[in-house]
Amino acid sequence: MPESLDVDRLERAVKSVYRDVAEAPTEEYHFEMGRSLAKRLGYPVSDLDTIPEEALESFAGVGYHFDFAALEEGDDVLDLGSGSGTDVFVAAVHVGDTGSVTGLDMTNEQLAKARQLRDEAVIENVSFERGYIEDVPFDDGTFDVVLSNGVINLSPDKQQVFTEANRILTAGGRLAVSDIISEKLIPESIKNNEDLWAACIGGAEQIDRYTALIEETGFEVGDVRDNTQYEFRSEQAASACQKYGVKSISLGAHR
pLDDT score at 187: 85
Please indicate, yes or no, if residue 33 is contained in any of the structural domains: yes
Please indicate, yes or no, if residue 2 is contained in any of the structural domains: no
**Rounded Cα distance, 104 and 129, in Å:** 5
Please indicate, yes or no, if residue 73 is contained in any of the structural domains: yes
Extract the residue ranges of the chain whose pLDDT is less than 70.
1-5
CATH number of the CATH domain containing 198: 3.40.50.150
224's CB contacts (< 8 A; 6+ apart) are 207, 211, 249, 250, 251
pLDDT score at 52: 96
* Helix 108-121 vs helix 86-95: crossing angle, to nearest 10: 40
pLDDT score at 10: 84
Question: Which CA distances in Å does 207 have to 77, 100, 110, 222?
Answer: 25, 31, 29, 14
- The answer to whether the predicted template modeling score (pTM) of the entire model surpasses 0.75 is yes
Q: Are 179 and 248 in contact (CB under 8 A)?
A: yes
Q: What is the pLDDT of residues 150-185, one digit of tens each?
A: 999 999 999 999 999 999 999 999 999 999 999 998
Q: Is 34 left (phi over 0), alpha (psi -120 to 50) or beta?
A: left
pLDDT score at 34: 96
**Rounded Cα distance, 149 and 58, in Å:** 13
Please indicate, yes or no, if residue 48 is contained in any of the structural domains: yes
Please indicate, yes or no, if residue 1 is contained in any of the structural domains: no
Please indicate, yes or no, if residue 250 is contained in any of the structural domains: yes
Please indicate, yes or no, if residue 91 is contained in any of the structural domains: yes
pLDDT score at 177: 98
Please indicate, yes or no, if residue 75 is contained in any of the structural domains: yes
**Rounded Cα distance, 208 and 197, in Å:** 20
Number of domains the chain contains? 1
Exposure of 23 by Cβ count < 10 A (0-12 exposed, 13-18 middle, 19+ buried)? middle
Domain housing 199: 7-254
